[in-house]
Structure 1
Amino acid sequence: MASIVLASASPRRAELLRQIGLSFHVRPADIDETPGTGESPVHYVERLARGKALAVQAAEPSATVIGSDTSVVLGGRILGKPQNSQDAADMLRRLSGTTHQVLTAVAIASVNACESRVSVTDVRFRGLSDEEINAYVATGEPMDKAGGYGIQGLGGIFVEELRGSYSAVVGLPLQETAELLAGAGYPVWESWNSRQESRNE
């Protein structure tokens, strides 16, 4: 059976795949992530997820490769990863008391095929004080995360309401990922009992 590769260095995506019992190895993709002129956020995240999966699959032709990309969108504008502490604080002030969208695309590339899905989740922040924004930024948690927060970490206390996929906000929509893997011939549930049996031997 061909190996499964995660084309991402994100520890959060790796943890989500381990959560559903998947065996895989990591090979981050190196692609240009510059948005195209006038490119919509949905098209952008799907293009990057597919680009990452296809880039790694070209290097490992026999593998099935998972690519993903996440963007936080407020008022139609993509909020990327903060450039510095001031940028992180500014992002959090913009998100305070508002509803934003988290768009996460997942793509599965295998021999002669690449299928993808985009998950859109509405996330509402309660109002945030300057004191808690500054305290959060000082922890360093916002710095490597789209939109400047991690819902699975300290930033989870800011979320008032979520409509959609929690795992997608963390970094990978598990329902869509499992669906695409099954379509590529890897139903994740088939490995659950075999993993247990190998531990019991």
Structure 2
Amino acid sequence: MLSSKLTNYHLILASGSPRRQQFFKELDIDFEIRLKEVDEVYPKQLKASEITDFLADLKSKPFNNELTDKDILITSDTIVWFENEALGKPKNYQEAFETLRRLSGKVHEVITSVSIKSKSFQKIINDTTTVAFKELSDDEIKYYIEKYKPYDKAGAYGIQEWIGRIGIKKIEGSYFNVMGLPVHKLYKELMNL
């Protein structure tokens, strides 16, 4: 259904995330993966969705001069927002361990922003999901980090992995948003093109 709406467009996904790429495949739409390196630095005064909106837009900027009239570029960014702080991807084992220990037994938000950009327009959407972890033991945290190496994931965890199955008590909002893409909102925007 979506693919027939997009026949006049060429969709470009600028993401190296295997999860985001899988979502696009599962939407049954043709797309190209095109990657550019971006230094993901944002102004320190930004909070919550302001950060992800800024970074989704920042990731789209290197493509500005190469988009054709038919191109639709999708860029996105996800953070874990906890105690008024953005938790990004952990740099190492210790950082991953400390992050998961902080999230243990508490509630946090996962925020994803998506930039939908063409040569003539841009729209940025975002979504927030609330996630509650049970109390995680140090052994559970160690096991998860050693086995799953979540260094490419905001907040040091993937909800679709072992820790999500044993550790998450409750979520409010989109499950797929926690995985890195608010698919329902993106689908709606693409249908409206």
TM-score for both structures, normalised by structure 2: 0.90
Q: Are residues 1:149 and 2:149 paired? A: no
CA–CA separation in structure 2 for the residues paired with 1:102 and 1:50: 18
CA–CA separation in structure 2 for the residues paired with 1:119 and 1:48: 14
Identity %: 35
Q: Are residues 1:172 and 2:172 paired? A: no
CA–CA separation in structure 1 for the residues paired with 2:43 and 2:76: 18
Q: Are residues 1:27 and 2:34 paired? A: yes
What secondary structure is seen at the aligned counterpart in 2 of 1:172? coil
Following superposition of structure 1 onto structure 2, how do residues 1-201 of structure 1 map, counting pairs within 5 Å?
1-62=8-69, 63-157=71-165, 158-184=167-193
Aligned-pair Cα RMSD in Å? 1.3
Cα offset for 1:38? Answer: 1.1
CA–CA separation in structure 2 for the residues paired with 1:146 and 1:115: 23
CA–CA separation in structure 1 for the residues paired with 2:132 and 2:65: 39
Report Cα offsets for 1:22-80 as digits up to 9, x if no partner.
21011123222112121112111011112223433532334111111000011110111
Q: How many residues align?
A: 184
| Kept in 1: contact 2:67–2:119 (CA 8 A) | no
Gaps of 5+ in 1: 185-201
In structure 2, what residue type is equivalent to 1:176?
K
In structure 1, what residue type is equivalent to 2:182?
P
| Kept in 2: contact 1:5–1:27 (CA 8 A) | yes
| Kept in 2: contact 1:121–1:162 (CA 8 A) | yes
What secondary structure is seen at the aligned counterpart in 2 of 1:82? coil
| Kept in 1: contact 2:89–2:152 (CA 8 A) | yes
Gaps of 5+ in 2: 1-7
CA–CA separation in structure 2 for the residues paired with 1:7 and 1:24: 10
CA spacing shift, 1:14–1:108, aligned 2, 3 Å = same
